[in-house]
Amino acid sequence: MGRRKSRYDRLFMRDAEAFVRDALRLRDTVLSAQLHLKANGPLFWQLGGLVDKLHELLATVAEKEPDFRMAGLGLLPLPEDYSTRK
């Protein structure tokens, strides 16, 4: 029987960049939806929690903290040595 291919501890660069792009689009959608909700409503706060978790996950995947002053939170493009880091 053949051996099962090993799994990796990190995403491939193309997968990580696709994830970051999609997560940034989801973040924009959630933030625009929050504009139309009452600030004291439960859905507003749940969506805010989702955005906070997205920021944490984006920092983990991109291996750097989001910079809220830059477009795309300064996460893209990923560094050239992304998939070779350990």
Residues 23-62 have pLDDT tens digits of 999 999 999 999 999 999 999 999 999 999 999 999 999 9
Please, which residues have CB within 8 angstroms of residue 50's CB and are 6 or more apart in sequence?
30
Which stretches of the chain are DSSP H helices?
A: 13-34, 42-62
Confidence (pLDDT) at 22: 97
- Per-residue model confidence as pLDDT tens digits over 12-25: 889 999 999 999 99
Of the two residues 3 and 79, the one the predictor is more confident about is 79
Residue 8, pLDDT > 90, answer no
Instruction: Kindly calculate the radius of gyration of the chain based on its CA atoms and give it in whole angstroms.
Output: 16
